[in-house]
Amino acid sequence: MGIRAFKPTSAGIRHRTIPTFEEITSSKPERSLLRAIKQSGGRNNKGRVTSRYRGGGHKRFYRLIDFKRDKRDLPAVVASIEYDPNRSARIALLHYIDGEKRYILAPEGLKVGEKLVAGPGVEIKIGNAMPLSSLPLGVSVHNVELKPGKGGQMARSAGAQVVLAAKEAGMAHLRLPSGEIRLVPEMCYATLGQVGNIDHENVSLGKAGASRWRGRRPHVRGVARNPVDHPMGGGEGKSSGGRHPCSPWGQKSKGLRTRKKRKPSTKWIVKRRA
C-alpha cells in the first residue's frame, strides 16, 4: 500500500492524502455477509445525545467479520482483499471447501489464492489461526482472544500487532503496542502476522469535509464557549480557561485516572503501559 498526494489546486486538497488502494482486488462486497446499520447520531433509545459530535456521514453496510476463526482444520482460499468502511484494516474474503464464505482481517502480505486454515496444529504461516500454546516465542500475532472461544478482541486495527513474549503456567505473556504486558490463557486463539494497511496512520484528511463524510461533526473548544455552556468559557479576549482543562460537567480531562481500582482484568496486567 502507498500514499497518494494531490496537486494543490485548492486549499481543501493541499494537505490531503489518500491510500492508493493497490492491495484491493474487489470493489463489490459479498452480499450474504452484509448487514444494514441504523445511524444513531450519537443518541440513545430515549433520543438524548450520549456521544457528542456524531451525525451525518456516508451510509454504510456492516461486513460480518469472523473474529472467532472457529472453522477448525478446514482449509480456505483467499478469494479477494476488500475495503471495509467500518474499520481501518482491510478484510479478506475466504472461500472454504464446504462452500461457506467468511470475512477475516487481512494481515500484511496476504495474497489472493493463498490457502489458510485454523486449528491447534496448523502450519506457522501468516493468516493461519491457532492457540497461543502452539506458537513459538517472539512471533507477531493479531486478533487475539482474551477468553477462549470469545473471539479476537486485541490488535484488530490497521498495523496492529502483539508479540508473544513468554509462556508460563498455562498463561501467555503478550507485549501490546502500548508497551503493556498482559497475561492471556494459552488456549486463546490468535492469527499470525501484523494487520495490514500499515500506512493508515500516515493518511491526512486535509479538510473538514473529510471528517463529515465519516460522521464526525465539528468539535468546539471549551474556551471558545460562553460561561453558561462550559466551565472554561468566557473571559475578555482570548483566554486560556483559567483552570485545569475539564469537560462541560467539570470532570478533569487531562491526567485524571478513570480506571477502576478493582477492575477484574487488572490482575492480568504484568507491566503497565509507559
Residues in the chain: 274
* CA-to-CA dists, residue 153 to 13, 37, 230, 244, angstroms: 36, 21, 36, 35
What single letter denotes the amino acid at residue 111?
A: K
CA distance 98 to 79: 14
Determine, yes or no, domain membership for 11. yes
* Separation between Cα atoms, residue 82 and residue 30, nearest integer Å: 10
Q: Cβ distance 192 to 139 under 8 Å?
A: yes
Look at residue 122 in the predicted model and tell me its pLDDT.
93
Total structural domains within the chain: 1
The cell for 257 is 485516572
Buried b (16+ CB within 10 A) or exposed e, 184-209: bbbebbbbbbbbbbeebeebeebbee
Indicate if the pLDDT at residue 248 is higher than 80.
yes
Q: Does some domain include residue 39? A: yes
List residues bridging with 72 in a β-sheet: 118
pLDDT at res. 265: 87
Q: Is residue 258 part of a domain?
A: no
259 within a domain of the structure (yes/no)? no
- 119-128 b/e with 16+ CB inside 10 Å = b? beebeeebbb
DSSP state of 213: H
Which amino acid is present at 247? S
Q: What is the CATH number of the domain that holds 118?
A: 2.40.50.140
| pLDDT at position 52 | 94
- Read off the pLDDT of residues 85-125 as tens digits, 9 standing for 90 and up: 999 999 999 999 999 999 999 999 999 999 999 999 899 99
Q: Is residue 252 part of a domain?
A: no
What mean pLDDT is predicted for residues 212-239? 95
Asked whether 140 and 163 are in contact (CB, 8 A), the reply is yes
Residue 134 scores a pLDDT above 90: yes
Close Cβ partners of 257 (under 8 Å, ≥ 6 residues apart)? none
CA distance 103 to 67: 9
Mean pLDDT for the stretch of residues 38-46: 95
For residue 108, give its domain range: 3-201
pLDDT recorded at residue 136: 95
Tens digits of residue pLDDT in 57-68: 999 999 999 999
Residues of the chain with pLDDT > 90: what percent? 94
Residue 21 lies in a domain: yes
Q: Report residue 260's pLDDT band, with 50, 70 and 90 as the boundaries.
A: confident
pLDDT at 194: 97
Q: What is the pLDDT of residue 167?
A: 95
